[in-house]
Structure 1
Amino acid sequence: MDAKVLDKILGIAFEKRVSDVHFEVDNPPFFRGRGQLIRSKLPSLTPGDTEFISKTILEQNGRALFADLKEVDAAYALPDGGRFRVSIFRQRRHLGVVMRVIPPNIGSFKELQLPPVLADIAKAPNGLILVTGPTGNGKSTTLASILEFLNETQSYNIITIEDPIEFLFTSKKSCIIQREVGIDTHGFDQALKAALRMDPDVIMVGEMRDAETIDACLKAAETGHLVFSTLHTQGAVSTINRLIGNFPPDSQEIVRQRLADILVATVSLRLIKDKAGESLYPVVEVMRNTTTIQACIREGRLEEIEKYIENGQSEYHMQSMDQHLVALCKKGIISMEAAKSISRSMDLERKLMFT
């Protein structure tokens, strides 16, 4: 393995439009395309190969490959500008690498087939907006699309704090500052505190990983800023529970009240295959923090939230995951079997029948 071979393999990933590339000892490189993991016909990798790949990636990030490295996140760029988000780890004492392809262009809401209501949500003057979903279901891509919309339409100072930086932005109507944890700052918490002294209008935090980061995001939203972040949760209710559950029991009631005051919306994503199995479509739950939902959060009546999401479709352009699945089924884009595989309810067919 050398740099030319590595870049050629990664170039194939862009050419074939795969989402991930896997490098593991005693296996050839694997590619994930259309949701399926595909074994390449390339030679199996040796420990020296994965060590070379890891070292090359870390050197580009100004880091060294230490003997006791267990796991690290990084980014990698090809000479032609193609970018990857990278996870380096140890398994069975050898280094392994998984590289997520970052699309070269930031798609618009229409291009990504996201609900147009995201434009209205993004125009909130302040507060907290959360993009959620399992790993690999489009959170980063959606968040980049929202930030690019603001970049093109608003005169904002936008600060991003990422680990690592994924999409590269060019300042347009807005000014965008991008800071990477481990290179430009020591951590999310420190970077958030610094961001408040950098004249921000919008702050994007790549991920809420702990109570300190969550608390800092809440404080930033409470002081009049618009804050975006992500969580690995599957819907509005689980997102609220996860946020509150990060705090000690004696603090949770106060956090609940704070969250009710500053939450603007949650946008939860899942990707689903179309009937032909050729494309992936986003299925999106949109919850906006209406007065009714705000009361549910304050009083702990979270089990009522999905009902209010579904009832708010016409007036507030909210939608539950099931409502979007039903709409995609009715348009003939996805099959009922595919819809059932990601629906969290037991009566999806009944909803389809009576909608």
Structure 2
Amino acid sequence: ELDFNRIDGGHGFRFHIYLERGCPAASIRRLRTDIPKLVELGLSGGAVENFLDTTEGGLMVLAGKPRCGKINTFAALINYINSQRRTRIITIEPMIQFWHNSQESTVIQRELGTDTRSFCQAVRQAVQQDPDILAVGGIPDRETAEVIIQAAAGGHLVLALLDGTSCVRALDELLSAFSGGDGRMHQLMGRVMKLLVCQHLVQRADGRGLIPAMEILECDDQVRAMISHGDLREVHQHMGARQMQTLGRHLSRMIEVGLVTREEAVKYVDESEIEVLPPSQLEIPTAEPAVDDETPLMSWL
């Protein structure tokens, strides 16, 4: 069996070659280029867009449950940088699902199993190519976490995907990878961590599919100190005190504009986290999930 990607006429295709009853067979899938924009995900004009516009080095983590749409959002982050900044981007992905044509940036996409044996090995090799930005589609083990943090400490901007149900739990998972050590990796992680986003999919009030709700943790000096000491107990409270975008605050804004019902929101946060908000600058997702056969599971999954 063979799996590989090919470019033809500016389009990317995924080939799977195999045997069926002893005869050669193949399936061909066109890689997606309909990458969502940040404004469609409710991420424009705020902390995430500002981070992508200005940050030269450090670590950003995009977390969420499996099948929460974070692969789409990850592609949107890469696409935004590709369209706005002159950089060299290397992606390392478990399976390439979106095809990034180089725009302002040069984009190199590598796939696990086809182009490299492991995330850890691929990150080590990518650092030697001196990219400006590394986009890593998973952190499966301690070794990968360590090389990612070291790459961020070396001046590269690293975007990484991680399974997790909140920003704090994603941080805790990373810290737990280095439990039992001498604390140096915790300190280094505290120094390089810049931004965490945790994505959830919630049911629209009009019943027309799902829409993303985002929690955004901006790592200021206090948060970095908490990470360095391995103590995350006050992070959520700190987010509220500093008016960061907690999940409760984002859902409250979505309730206010009629995108989500209160009954749906309390499935994800405690009732006490639902606020009555004044007019806010929080961006609200505008895109409606597609429901055609070309985009499986309404495009967000």
Q: Deviations over 1:274-324 (max 9, x none)?
A: 1121032211010111012112222333121112212223xxxx3100110
- Which residue does 1:273 correspond to in 2? 203
2:257 is aligned to: 331
For residues 254 and 41 of structure 2, the distance between their equivalents in structure 1, rounded to whole angstroms, comes to 15
Match for residue 292 of structure 2? none
Query: Is residue 138–residue 160 contact of structure 2 (8 Å, CA) maintained in 1?
Result: yes
Match of residue 108 from structure 1: 37
- 2:291 corresponds in structure 1 to none
Q: Mapping of 1:84-233 within 5 angstroms? A: 104-117=33-46, 118-122=48-52, 123-233=54-164
Q: How far off is 1:56 after superposition?
A: 9.3
Aligned equivalents of 2:178, 2:17: Cα separation in 1 = 34
CA distance in 1, matches of 2:190, 2:87: 25
Amino acid at match of 1:288: E
Change (3 A) 1:158 1:111: same
> Residue in 1 aligned with 2:272?
347
The alignment's C-alpha RMSD in Å is 2.5
Report the CA distance between 1:240 and its aligned residue.
Answer: 1.2
Gaps of 5+ in 1: 1-54, 67-75, 84-102
Question: Equivalents in 2 of 1:248, 1:298: separation in Å?
Answer: 12
Question: Percent identity at matched positions?
Answer: 27
CA contact (8 A) 2:3 2:114 kept: no
**Displacement of 1:232 after TM fit?**
0.6
For residues 134 and 306 of structure 1, the distance between their equivalents in structure 2, rounded to whole angstroms, comes to 19
Give the Å deviation of 1:270.
0.2
2:237 maps to 1:307: yes
- Whose radius of gyration is greater, 1 or 2? 1
* Structure 1, 217-226 or 298-307: larger mean CA deviation: 298-307
| Contact map agreement 2:175 2:230 (CA 8 A) in 1 | no
| Residue 262, structure 1, aligned to residue 188, structure 2 | no
Paired positions, count = 263
SS in 1 for 2:161: strand
The aligned residue for residue 175 of structure 2 is: 244
Q: Which amino acid aligns with 1:323?
A: R
The alpha-carbon distance between structure 1 residues 250 and 282, as it changes in their structure 2 partners (threshold 3 A), is: same
3-state secondary structure, aligned to 2:91: strand
- Alpha-carbon distance in structure 1 between the residues aligned to 2:19 and 2:192: 42
Residues 248-276 of structure 1 show CA distances to partners (whole Å, capped at 9, x for unaligned) of: 4124x222211110001000000111112
2:109 counterpart letter in structure 1: Q
TM-score normalised by structure 1 residue count: 0.69
Does the 8 Å contact 2:82/2:103 carry over to 1? Answer: yes
* SS of equivalent residue, structure 2 residue 40: coil
Tell me, what secondary structure is at the counterpart of 2:255? helix
- CA distance, structure 2, for counterparts of residue 272 and residue 182 of structure 1: 33
The residue number in structure 1 matching 2:227 is 297
Gaps of 5+ in 2: 6-13, 21-26, 280-301
Offset at residue 136 of structure 1 (A): 1.3
